[in-house]
Amino acid sequence: MKPKVVLTGKTWPIPFAKLQEHCDVQHWEGPGPIPRELLKVWLEDAEGLLSVNHGTKVDEDLLDAAPKLRVIAQSGVGYDNIDVAACTKKGIPFGNTPGVLVEATADLTFGILLSAMRRIHEGWGWVRTGQWREVMGTDLYGKTLGIYGMGDIGSAVAKRAQASGMQIIYHNRTRKQDDGHLGARYVSFDGLLEEADCIIVLVPLSEQSRGMFGKEQFDRMKSTAYFVNASRGPVVQTEALYDALKHNNIAYAALDVTDPEPLPGDHPLLGLSNILVTPHIGSATYETRNSMAMLAVDNLLAGLAKKALPACVNPSVNYI
Ligand SMILES: NC(=O)c1ccc[n+]([C@@H]2O[C@H](COP(=O)([O-])OP(=O)(O)OC[C@H]3O[C@@H](n4cnc5c(N)ncnc54)[C@H](O)[C@@H]3O)[C@@H](O)[C@H]2O)c1
Ligand SMILES: O=C(O)[C@H](O)CO
């Protein structure tokens, strides 16, 4: 008999076929996210959980409802929705999808910075409404980019920024061994805020990073600063960002992630003229989403076969 697996949403044809070949799949097809109480019922006899994004909260309460669960996989690198300690306590390996989404997310992150600085989206907005207006922007060349969270994606953004002639400074929990090779200079968090012409946030959401960017941090930035968040919305205090933009304490923001997310159509941020918001599409290319889904399925199938997950977040309970 095939093991039962719960799939929380839409995935891609090839990884889905692979999953179905090996598992009996109970598949939530919407509308909206799977209701938590229903998920608990479905998990009563499931051996695997495949979460398609970070919208499903996995905590002790959910795990208690899933006595047979042997592996959890998520299509995504960020896992702030997963209580990893609770998984480990129950001996359940959890796998995410690092690496495969780096280039696509770096493109989008650098792309929204570029669009904000050169007003690409604004220019198109004028042209499409029949108004041929010149929109003035700011040079990237020669500016200092500050990256907060110099991991896989941050490093890939740094390469793109260097190619545009930017100087790179960064702040990270730990200094990178290879920052010389990246052409990036390590600075303190306050140094990053004060020195950078543009700041890109690419740090995972955690208890340490939650709300890290508030009034005090925006006040420290240059009034000409561009601010990009492509990590998770709650790293930024939305009201403080709104105030900083509204009063021109910083110049412009480009956000791929927001708090709340989705951002309601009547949210005050959307009434500002100095902001660009994209709907959390960092990794949203056909190729990358397919690779993410494939790695998530590989993590899941490995766990079900009691083999090591290719990308395991809690290696102490990974299968050997
Ligand atoms: N917008 C999107 O669609 C999208 C796509 C992929 C990832 N993400 C987000 O980007 C994040 C980063 O992804 P990644 O693949 O580069 O991860 P990564 O683990 O390679 O990099 C994260 C870096 O942040 C550092 N860090 C962690 N906590 C910190 C803290 N409190 N202060 C300073 N530095 C800290 C780590 O040392 C690491 O170098 C993910 O966790 C996810 O939330 C968003
Ligand atoms: O963390 C990630 O991989 C992206 O934000 C998609 O959830």
* Rounded distance between C-alpha atoms, residue 191 and residue 179, angstroms: 17
Rounded to the nearest angstrom, the distance between the alpha carbon of 279 and the centre of ligand 2 is 12
Query: In Å, what is the CA distance from 137 to each residue of 116, 120, 143, 226, 267?
Result: 8, 9, 13, 12, 25
Looking from the CA of residue 212, the nearest atom of ligand 1 is: 31
Using CA atoms, how far apart are residues 318 and 310, in angstroms rounded to an integer? 10
Strands (E), 77-214: 94-95, 144-148, 167-171, 184-186, 198-201
Domains and CATH numbers, the chain: 4-100+286-317 (3.40.50.720), 102-277 (3.40.50.720)
Quote the pLDDT of residue 180.
Answer: 83
292 CB-near residues (< 8 Å, 6+ apart): 75, 76, 97, 100, 101, 283
What pLDDT sits at residue 202?
98
Is the model's pLDDT at 179 over the cut of 90? no
Query: 74-119: per-residue pLDDT in tens?
Result: 999 999 999 999 999 999 999 999 999 999 999 999 999 999 999 9
Backbone CA torsion sign across 260, 104, 128, 119: positive
How many CA atoms lie less than 13 Å away from 10 in the CB half-sphere?
A: 5
Q: Atom 4 (ligand 2): residue with closest C-alpha?
A: 76
| pLDDT level of residue 181 (50, 70, 90 thresholds) | confident
Q: Is the CB of 283 under 6 A from ligand 2?
A: yes
Distance CA 72, CA 100 (A): 18
Please check the confidence at residue 23 and state whether its pLDDT lies above 90.
yes
Tell me which ligand sits closest to the C-alpha of residue 153. Answer: 1
Residues with CB under 6 A from ligand 1: 77-78, 98, 101, 105, 149-154, 172-174, 202-206, 208-209, 230-232, 256-257, 280, 282-283
pLDDT digits (tens, 9 = 90+) for 121-140: 999 999 999 999 999 999 99
Answer whether 152's CB lies under 8 Å from 109's CB: no
Active-site positions read 232, 261, 280
If you average pLDDT over every residue of the chain, what do you get?
Answer: 97
ipTM of predicted assembly, 2 dp:
0.99
Tell me if 182 sits within 8 A of 158, measured CB to CB.
yes
